[in-house]
């Protein structure tokens, strides 16, 4: 256990000071969304969220991400801890931490696919699939109920982290889509089966559509050697400037998870699988530019919505 905690502490320091070969919604994007949410949260709500996160079960190894660092303000440490918490549901997918993985990792919580295909007339046609399509929507509702309940702070800590993560996930268009084709009769797994690299490319060098969208922020604005404090914070601030709260406030629809998913699904059918997208070819510069614009807006909306939801739950008139 001590060895695992030491590894986690080292991971936290590395995350703050060095660049990971990271992806957008899996790392950088989640932290951007959490940063934007933090800016929306009141001081009272921030304190409640941090207090609860620090009460996470010891074997979850979530609270170990709160690392004291000389010369860094208390506010900065709390914000970075909150941002890191948004990535915990991906961190625990590491199978080398066997007990933690078995107890806390849930691979089918990260998405909620709506199955569809393109009809002969070019319109979107819904497809009914017997297979389970992901539990993101169910979990968003259940996690919110946990935070409003008299559950222990340990349970609420996990709920906060998962809620941070899943709100980000459901705003990624391909986390709400399962496209059915002759090649993928059971769906393309959110673009994971739609390869962008030439046929015959070795598996370890293949790139797919889902990964392309996950990594679009870094693709368009390379991180190079910048640490989180220099890269993620600056990227989030640029997104806030580009999509200020006042510009999207009328669209927030706080807590309406179904509508958030519908937005992502519509973007997937109209913009992700646009007519210029070709299998086994990397997207064009114009496609990349449009994807980056869409991703920035989705990250902004996810952050504002998350911040509003936490304010409503943990504010003076909400859960105590």
Phi-psi category of residue 180: left, alpha or beta, with phi > 0 → left and psi -120 to 50 → alpha: beta
Which candidate, 267, 277, 289, places its Cα nearest to that of 221? 289
The reply to whether 119 falls in a domain is yes
pLDDT by residue for the chain (320 residues), tens only, comes to 444 444 444 444 444 433 333 333 458 999 999 999 999 999 999 999 999 999 999 999 999 999 777 678 999 999 999 999 999 999 999 999 999 999 999 999 999 999 999 999 999 999 999 877 899 999 999 999 999 999 999 999 999 999 999 999 999 999 999 999 999 999 999 999 999 999 999 999 999 999 999 999 999 999 888 888 899 999 999 999 999 999 999 999 877 999 999 999 999 999 999 999 999 999 999 999 999 999 999 999 999 999 999 999 999 865 44
Record the tokens describing residue 230, joined without a space: 């220099």
The reply to whether 85 falls in a domain is yes
**The dihedral sign for the CA sequence 216, 218, 220, 221:** positive
The reply to whether 319 falls in a domain is no
The reply to whether 70 falls in a domain is yes
The reply to whether 92 falls in a domain is yes
Q: What's the predicted TM-score (pTM) here? A: 0.90
What is d(CA 222, CA 299) in angstroms, rounded to the nearest whole number?
A: 17
CATH of the domain at 54: 1.10.575.10
Measure the CA angle with vertex 227, ends 221 and 232; round to 5°: 50
Domain tally for the chain?
Answer: 1
Element (H, E) at 114: strand 114-118
The reply to whether 173 falls in a domain is yes
The reply to whether 197 falls in a domain is yes
The reply to whether 23 falls in a domain is yes
The whole domain housing 44 covers 2-314
Which candidate, 156, 162, 146, places its Cα nearest to that of 55? 156
């Amino acid at each position: 256990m001590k060895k695992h905690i030491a590894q986690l502490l080292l991971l936290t320091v590395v995350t703050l000071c060095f660049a990971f070969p990271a992806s957008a919604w899996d790392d950088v994007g989640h932290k951007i969304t959490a940063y934007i949410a933090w800016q929306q949260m009141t001081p009272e709500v921030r304190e409640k969220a941090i207090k609860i996160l620090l009460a996470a079960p010891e074997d979850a190894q979530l609270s170990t991400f709160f690392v004291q660092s000389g010369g860094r303000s208390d506010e900065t440490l709390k914000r970075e801890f909150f941002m890191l918490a948004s990535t915990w549901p991906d961190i625990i997918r590491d199978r080398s931490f066997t007990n933690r993985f078995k107890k806390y990792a849930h691979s089918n919580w990260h998405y909620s696919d709506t199955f569809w295909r393109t009809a002969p007339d070019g319109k979107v046609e819904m497809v009914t699939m017997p297979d389970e399509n992901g539990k993101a929507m169910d979990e968003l509702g259940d996690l919110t109920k946990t935070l409003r309940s008299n559950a222990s702070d340990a349970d609420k800590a996990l709920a906060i982290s998962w809620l941070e993560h899943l709100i980000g996930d459901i705003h990624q268009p391909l986390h709400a889509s399962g496209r059915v084709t002759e090649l993928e009769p059971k769906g393309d797994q959110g673009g994971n089966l739609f390869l962008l690299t030439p046929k015959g490319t070795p598996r370890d060098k293949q790139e797919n559509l889902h990964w392309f969208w996950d990594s679009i922020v870094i693709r368009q604005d390379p991180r190079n050697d910048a640490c989180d404090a220099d890269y993620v914070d600056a990227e989030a601030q640029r997104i806030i400037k580009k999509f200020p709260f006042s510009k999207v406030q009328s669209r927030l629809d706080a807590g309406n998870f179904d509508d958030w998913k519908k937005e992502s699904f519509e973007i997937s059918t109209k913009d992700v699988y646009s007519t210029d997208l070709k299998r086994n070819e990397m997207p064009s510069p114009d496609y990349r530019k449009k994807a980056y614009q869409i991703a920035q807006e989705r990250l902004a909306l996810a952050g504002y919505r998350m911040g509003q939801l936490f304010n409503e739950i943990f504010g003076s008139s909400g859960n105590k």
